[in-house]
Structure 1
Amino acid sequence: MAQLQKVHGSMNQFFLLDQTELDSKLTQEQLVNLATHITDQNKGLLDGADGLLVVDDTDDDATLGSMQVINADGSIASMCGNGLRTVSRYLSEKFGQDEFSVQTQDAPLQVKREESFADGVPTFSVEISPVSFARETLPFDNLNTDTIVDQQLPELDDDLTFTAISVPNPHLISFVDDAVLDSDTLENLGTKLNGDNPYFYDGVNVSFAKIIGKNKLFVRTFERGVGFTNACGTGMSATSLAFCLNHPGAASFEEEITVYNPGGMVKTRVHDTNGEYHIDLIGNATVTNTVEIPEADLHASVLDNAEIAETGEQASYEKFVSAVRAAEEV
């Protein structure tokens, strides 16, 4: 029997598969088929998920393993901060190490176990990098600029200002008030820029952020390849950098920033080394369920014979989130 985990970071939910534990690894086509089937909200397992995290070997002796992120629509994400935390926990427990590197699509990234946010809420910190503002790394076109930092873009909206950052996932960020956050502006803009459009022609993650206080944000993201998610780790990281750059009176480099999201809360720390940036993303790595399934069924994306068990960790996470929301009234 093959084993998977249902995991989440800030309720950004995934299934996690370790290819190295299989008798025969799935092909890339089989992995994409599995991702689209198992994450389906109606026909998948456990009400679906936002994507599939694939753990595999790495050629780099300095890393413990590699991570591939396959979105629910079958597209490949460059990175996923929430997912990387859960992969970090998996590899930490598998190899008995608390600080190491994981190979992602674009770079090996440092990760480490942190002090738990609360009882029963395992917490990990992951490096978010490389960071770029360059047009070709996002990419975008037809906006009459090569970088977008706290700029109005009338092609996208008459009133909002935007910042565009790749980390390396592409993100478009705007700081908004409650009225805009509660409107359908984010959904409309996210849908527009992830369909056929002349601006972000490969799509882009769109985040709206509300400043709550000193080093405190609320962020909601329309994610490329997924739509609305409870949280987007790279989105919260990119937004934290934009927070430090665009609102220096409210946010500080090298200090912890608390970022609330519809799925809970994370902390970030933005580092500035002579204009070179990277971000620490700190948050939960929760395993809600274990799944056993015949390996042949896994290759064929047949889910009927899956055996599912709960871990009990979700209750601890929900208790933590309730306490956070009650304390901050968010």
Structure 2
Amino acid sequence: MKIDLIKGHGSGNDFLVIDEITNAYSFSEEGRAEIARLLCNRSSDLGADGVLFIMKSDHANGRMRVFNADGSEASMCGNGLRLVARYVCEMLEFKEAIIETMKADLKVSKQADIFPNVTTYQVEISPISFRLADLPLILNEDNLRNEKIPELSGELTFTALAVPNPHLISIVETDQIKSGIQKQISEKVNNPNALFPDGVNVSFVKSLSSGSIYVNTFERGVGFTNACGTAMSASSLVTCLQGLNDVDEIINVYNNGGKVQCVVHENDENYSIDLIGNATYLYKAEVEVDLGSKDFTVIWKENFSEQDIYEKLQAEAQAYLRGTGL
């Protein structure tokens, strides 16, 4: 089977985009999972954190399905949604659109560049729930906000929320980020355990100044990643809940892949988040995939020039982080 694709990234969180709207592809459910495992393999000619399948929707401008590198399906992906937003908006020649995701129909729109000449999109992150049953997290309480989980750490406090992907957020100091505790906790809750039967994304968050935070995320199904859009959104909300930042104000969110902006909105304790950041194309390619032999060949590949521009944003963000001691 021949498949056309685009590789792109949001904050260094990279994906392979497969268009099922204008192409007559037909994939089984196991086929989608196998394509993700095969093409996302970092030792192959492609490699990525996941695959974004863009599909027709019976009520929205497009539909997004996200498969992680291990073949598991994610209910949402903020960085990936920005790439889907760009693809659909450019395809339809729209400046804004509605994208159907697993749990909600989300607004997306073209925005002013977050950095000169860096293509930028805003996407809605919702629904948001603090009910532990929605992650799920097996504890004898309904929610967890800035509390300890003794099974994981005697020192750290955590907030658990679904956006709708499950997230476990801890506000920490620089030395805790540089220690091995995040890796230890993340591996524990993403292997068979009594707390998180489906695993969870684990983020350590450092407040840098008013309106600026750093987020480091171990992503379920991926591992440590340059950035996770829903994690950065969830982390921004948690900092507002703890009085470190304000709702309806821009929060600059730094990560290992660059920088995004988040704006948290509250309406009677119902929250939504705007995630604003790059949607950068790396290359387009055609591949020949043989799912029977679990192999593929890159027929051709053509690079875009956008990454050179994005790296200027990344360098500025990394210089800022070095200045904070991270």
TM range (shorter): over 0.9
Secondary structure at the aligned position of 2:236 is classed as helix
Q: 1:270 aligns with which of 264, 270, 283?
A: 264
Q: 2:183 aligns with which of 178, 184, 187?
A: 187
CA distance in 2, matches of 1:268, 1:87: 18
- Other-structure match for 1:53: 52
CA distance in 2, matches of 1:298, 1:116: 40
- Other-structure match for 1:304: 297
Flag the 1:137–1:307 CA change in 2: closer, same or farther, 3 A.
same
- Other-structure match for 1:38: 39
Which letter maps to 1:243? T
8 A Cα contact 1:7 1:288, kept in partner: yes
CA distance in 2, matches of 1:316, 1:322: 10
8 A Cα contact 2:172 2:205, kept in partner: yes
| Residues 1:133 and 2:143 aligned together | no
Flag the 1:301–1:289 CA change in 2: closer, same or farther, 3 A.
farther
Count of residue correspondences: 322
CA distance in 2, matches of 1:272, 1:297: 48
- The offset of 1:320, in angstroms, is 1.6
Deviating runs (4+, > 6 A) in structure 1?
Answer: none
CA distance in 2, matches of 1:76, 1:122: 27
- Other-structure match for 1:232: 228
Flag the 1:121–1:301 CA change in 2: closer, same or farther, 3 A.
farther
Flag the 1:55–1:323 CA change in 2: closer, same or farther, 3 A.
same
Q: How large is the RMSD of aligned CA atoms in angstroms?
A: 1.5
8 A Cα contact 2:125 2:233, kept in partner: yes
- The offset of 1:170, in angstroms, is 0.4
| Residues 1:223 and 2:219 aligned together | yes
Unaligned runs of 5+ in 1: none
8 A Cα contact 1:39 1:45, kept in partner: no
| Residues 1:288 and 2:282 aligned together | yes
Identity of counterpart residues, as a percentage?
Answer: 43
Aligned 1:71-220 pairs, distance under 5 A: 71-141=68-138, 143-220=139-216
Secondary structure at the aligned position of 1:161 is classed as coil
Which letter maps to 1:280? D
Secondary structure at the aligned position of 2:301 is classed as strand
Flag the 1:103–1:301 CA change in 2: closer, same or farther, 3 A.
farther
Secondary structure at the aligned position of 1:252 is classed as coil
Q: 1:255 aligns with which of 221, 241, 249?
A: 249
TM-score when scaled to structure 2?
Answer: 0.95
Unaligned runs of 5+ in 2: none
Secondary structure at the aligned position of 2:311 is classed as helix
Which letter maps to 2:45? L
8 A Cα contact 1:12 1:50, kept in partner: yes
- The offset of 1:297, in angstroms, is 5.0
Segment drifting more, 255-264 vs 301-310 = 301-310
Secondary structure at the aligned position of 2:6 is classed as strand
